[in-house]
Amino acid sequence: MEKTILFATSNENKKREVQELLHNQYIVQSLSDLHFEDEIPEPFNTLEENAQYKAAQLYRALNLPCFAEDTGLEVFSLGNAPGVKSARYAGEQRSTEDNISLLLRNLEPHTDRSARFRTVLAYCDGTTSFLFEGIVEGTIGKIKRGTGGFGYDPVFMPMGYDCSFAEMDKATKNKISHRGIAIQKFIKYLQSSK
Ligand code: IMP
């Protein structure tokens, strides 16, 4: 029988991806599913601290094992920016359009467009807290390509593929993505700790 697992996110795109990755094993519930309206802040300067903080906050609020993740796009020529500030790169409005436009503008003078997505997933069950990392390397394209995915997907070209994340079918993105890799490590941990 499938078990339920809590994911400390209100981002339905992320929830959908994670549910696809955990299909047949877990039913993923997000903050919206639980009608948990309080926004959990991401106050720290590292993905690790933010992920751990969100998982611990949700555990404290609901007293149920849960996991949280934080993701950043790290662009080499920009000193790994936007990184932990990826959601608010162009301002507090957290606009994907504005974030991508600013990224493309800031990269114009640079020839090296290499980048990576990094996800840190934190699991908290009250007694222990574990971290799992997933990284996918690639480059930032000069124009947006594709309509799938979300966030920076239209400008992220994963290494070894001649397309953006937004042009990829979901299953392929899930298999090679930062979040997919972190979740696979998490699943291994869950299976080994049964
Ligand atoms: P956060 O982890 O929700 O704080 O996301 C940080 C930023 O990275 C947001 O602007 C997201 O839209 C973006 N982001 C997170 N995961 C992905 C992804 O898989 N593809 C593209 N953008 C992403």
Residues 55 and 31 sit within 8 Å (Cβ to Cβ): no
Give the integer Cα–Cα distance in Å for 89 and 94.
Answer: 7
Structure confidence at residue 121 (pLDDT): 97
pLDDT given at position 194: 65
Region 162-167: mean pLDDT is: 98
- Per the annotation, the verdict on 112 as an active-site residue is no
* pLDDT tens readout for residues 48-78: 999 999 999 999 988 988 999 999 999 999 9
The pTM score is 0.93
Which tokens hold the place of 2?
């499938």
The domain ranges of the chain are 3-192
Which ligand 1 atom sits closest to the C-alpha of 153? 21
Q: Please, where are the H alpha helices in the chain?
A: 12-21, 47-62, 96-107, 170-176, 178-192
Cα 50 to middle of ligand 1, angstroms: 14
* Angle of helix 178-192 versus helix 12-21 axis, rounded to 10: 50
Q: Which of 69, 73, 89, 144 to mutate to test the pocket of ligand 1 (most atoms within 8 A of CB)?
A: 73
Average pLDDT over residues 126-132: 88
Q: Summarize pLDDT for 94-119 with one digit per residue, the tens.
A: 999 999 999 999 999 999 999 999 99
Q: Which atom of ligand 1 is nearest to the CA of 86?
A: 7
Residue 182 DSSP label: H
> Is 36 exposed, middle or buried (CB count within 10 Å of its CB: 0-12, 13-18, 19+)?
middle
Query: Which residue's C-alpha comes closest to atom 7 of ligand 1?
Result: 87
CATH match for 3-192 among 3.30.460.10, 3.90.950.10, 3.30.160.270, 3.60.150.10:
3.90.950.10
